[in-house]
Amino acid sequence: DVYLKKAEFNREPLYAKFRLRDPIRRPILTADPSISMHEIQPTDQFIIFASDGLWEHLNNQEAVDIVQNHPRKGIARRLIKTALQEAAKKREMRYTDLKKIDRGVRRHFHDDITVVVIFLDSNLVSKASSQKGPTLSLRGGGINLSGKTLVAPPSTA
């Protein structure tokens, strides 16, 4: 999709059928994230950061259940695999068949999926909640959050 964001990618070797006829003056696709805030509690165990490709196939509770019920190692990969299994099911195909499709063609079956899971140390969270933390700035000054808040995935319910 980068050819929809930057003019220098709207040319060969991109296939002609994908190229835009008119020059790009500004990005056609832009990042407009869903942002919600949640004050970190000592009982919070992890944070899931993911692109909309994950949330198209899993709701918040399904993702939380997967992270809570499986080992930490490889958990982001497990979330992606589960989302891809759901994408295959929606297309009435097997996951193994979906994986065989060339990545360029596979874009017609599911969106890109990026996942990062951060596990929290409850002792540090407890300590931080009793102190005034530093201010965090997301996207280079776009949004200021107190040191006790985090960005959570968009609600899909």
The per-residue pLDDT for range 101-154, each reduced to its tens digit, is 887 777 777 778 899 999 998 776 566 666 665 555 444 444 444 444 444 444
Give the span between the Cα atoms of 130 and 125, in whole angstroms: 9
Q: What is the residue whose two structure tokens read 């097997």?
A: 94
**Residue 145, C-beta contacts closer than 8 angstroms, at least 6 positions apart:** 37, 135, 136, 137, 138, 151
The whole-number pLDDT of residue 51 equals: 86
> Nearest to residue 106, comparing CAs of 27, 53, 144?
53
The whole-number pLDDT of residue 139 equals: 46
The answer to whether residue 155 scores a pLDDT higher than 80 is no
Domain extents for the chain? 1-30, 31-152
How do residues 67-108 score in pLDDT, each as one tens digit? 999 999 999 999 999 999 998 898 888 988 888 888 777 777
